[in-house]
Amino acid sequence: MVIFNLTLQLAVTELTNVSSLTKTLISNSNDLRTGSALRDFANLFDDAIRQLSRSVESMRGESVLTVEKVGDLKTWISAAMMDQETCVDGLEEMGSTVVDEVKMKVQRSSVCMSNSLAILGHMDEVLEKFGMHLH
């Protein structure tokens, strides 16, 4: 669970970097349409950060993972990933000049979230090797 927590905390950090970049781009944008879209995306990124932070919080002090908890974590992480994808897709559709910069940051946080999902996806197998099971 330590590795999972680390990947999840890293995902929160990377997603916070994406959110910060988006807010910086908003303040530097002269294009009203791009600025408006970036504000919407900043809200989505903030929502994704809340989802991941909730995941991190739910793991604090936990020594036992339940099937329900794993399901919740997968849902929250997947929702955060979808928020990111929605933002990148929206910027691409607009033909925004900032899409590559945002995409690069999103890629880093997506990798961290994918790693977290992969760990959760194999959690029962890992626990089984130690004679443990999800409850």
What per-residue confidence (pLDDT) applies to 45?
85
What secondary structure does DSSP assign to 73-120, as a single string? HHHHHHHHHHHHHHHHHHHHHHT-TTHHHHHHHHHHHHHHHHHHHHHH
Could you tell me if residue 41 is inside a domain?
yes
Structural domain harbouring 84: 2-129
Could you tell me if residue 32 is inside a domain?
yes
Mean pLDDT of 33-50: 86
What per-residue confidence (pLDDT) applies to 117?
92
Number of separate domains in the chain = 1
DSSP 123: H
- Which CATH number is 26's domain given? 1.20.140.40
Rounded to two decimals, what is the model's pTM?
0.82
Q: Is the dihedral of CA 51, 52, 54, 58 positive or negative?
A: positive
